[in-house]
Amino acid sequence: MAPPRAPRSLARRLAGPAGIGLLAVAGLLLLALSSLLGNQAVPVGVGFRILLHELSGGALFSDPCAGTGVSPAHCSALTFIVWQLYLPEVLLALVVGAALGLSGGALQGVFRNPLADPFLLGISSGGTLGAAILYVYRIGVGQADLYLPLFAFLGAIATGLLILGVARGRHSSVETLLLTGVAIANLLGAVLALVLLYNPVGGEQVTFWLLGNLGLASWTVDGIAVGVVLMLGTVLVLFGRDLNLLQLGADVAQSSGVNANRVRLHVILLASMITAIAVAFTGVIGFVGLVSPHVVRRIVGSDYRVVLPGSAIVGALFLLGARDVNYLAFPSSVLPIGIFTAFFGVPFFLFLLYRQRRLAPMEGR
């Protein structure tokens, strides 16, 4: 069965690998420039020399600050800032943005609901509770980049399994699953409020963790995130064809040899695990997973074989863009990135929503 066709001329022009490739090139360009953006000024020339020096393993620009007037001690600090702080942060933004975009695209496909996002099933509430327990009870202070993601991931994944278990897995309807997720998310929210009420120490950190940040970035964290998202994301993208068939209804999918319930369960599990990884490393970053698939559908149509990888790329660019806007708007402050994805995402989402309704009232249903 042929997948649904792209609805617009722009989509036809950019559909397929060319569009995806264009977005990827834009991403690489943005990556290079973003690696020099932060709230500690790095001269552009010195920054690029440091990047080339480190990327070449020291073969290029043996002293990246030579002739620039930057002292050796300050050069060492700048090298650390660019190579150990900014670049890992940029990469984490790309990976987490990709994870959220991919997860959002998959869940919108499986629920056939354009309002679905990676946090729809409430697994972020479990991740938040896990992080809050760590912050409030000061667990693993010396190993924060291990314990924080571990607690958040376990909280998120345990919540996902609990929701699936309570909703009795594949034997439940989509509505039951969603309502179970909402109910358990509310319950965990109440537990979180209780924990913070009686243990206000750490409350501020939890609040800001809830708004998302990239502060945990490092080469090791990036490695784990890239590896896991690459593994699970690759498998999830393979469900694109099945998701296309699911859009035509469970009966049609079934008659084409697709076990709708099994596909739903697998996609939800994979998307939940990818989201859990994102939550574990950066907290709850809203709107990326909701907006990215909409953007991709407008560009390349609604073929999920393209929408899924496209959502990953747009999500990556979106989160990186939000990070950069943060530093451009507030050069001497680091604010939670979730604030900027909301500032960025909400107007854009509303624009898409109303434009879509005006042009094609039934699209996206």
Partner 1 sequence: MWVAVIALVAVGAGVAGTSTYFALNPAAQPTPAHSIGITDDLGRNVTVPIDPARIAVLSPSIMDEVYRLGLRTHVVGVDCYAAAFGGLTTDYSSDQIALWNLTPSMCVQVAPTLSPEMLVNLTPSLVLASTIDPLGPIEKITTQLGVPLVVLQPATLSGILVDDSLLGEIFGVQSTASALNAELAAELYHATNLTVTESFPYVLVTYSDDSNGYWTFGPSTFGESLIELAGATSIAANATMQWPELSPAQILYANPSVIVYGYGFGLNESSYAGGPDWSQFGAVQAGNVSGIDSNWITEPDPTMILDGLPTLIADFHPGTV
What's the rounded Cα separation, in Å, for the pair 268 and 212?
A: 23
Minimum distance, C-beta of residue 147 to partner 1, in the bound complex (Å): 8
How many contiguous H segments (helices) and E segments (strands) does the chain have?
A: 16, 0
In degrees, to the nearest 5, what angle opens at C-alpha 337 toward C-alphas 88 and 357? 120
Minimum distance, C-beta of residue 349 to partner 1, in the bound complex (Å): 24
Nearest Cα to 209, choosing from 146, 129, 268? Answer: 129
Closer Cβ to partner 1, 85 or 161, answer by number: 85
Minimum distance, C-beta of residue 357 to partner 1, in the bound complex (Å): 36
Closer Cβ to partner 1, 162 or 277, answer by number: 277
Identity of the residue numbered 237? V
Minimum distance, C-beta of residue 85 to partner 1, in the bound complex (Å): 6
Minimum distance, C-beta of residue 142 to partner 1, in the bound complex (Å): 6
Residue 37 makes CB contacts below 8 A (sequence gap 6+) with: 86, 323, 324, 327, 328
Closer Cβ to partner 1, 27 or 215, answer by number: 215
Tokens 């699953």 -> residue: 177
What's the rounded Cα separation, in Å, for the pair 86 and 215?
A: 10
Residue 223 makes CB contacts below 8 A (sequence gap 6+) with: none
Name the site residues for partner 1 (rule: CB under 8 A): 38-40, 73-74, 76-77, 80-81, 84-86, 138, 140-148, 197-198, 200-201, 204-205, 208, 211, 213, 215-216, 218-224, 226-232, 234-235, 238, 330, 332-336
Closer Cβ to partner 1, 174 or 335, answer by number: 335
Closer Cβ to partner 1, 146 or 360, answer by number: 146
Structure tokens belonging to residue 55: 């990327």
Closer Cβ to partner 1, 210 or 296, answer by number: 210
Nearest Cα to 264, choosing from 185, 182, 167? Answer: 167
Minimum distance, C-beta of residue 152 to partner 1, in the bound complex (Å): 12
Provide the residue count of the chain.
Answer: 365
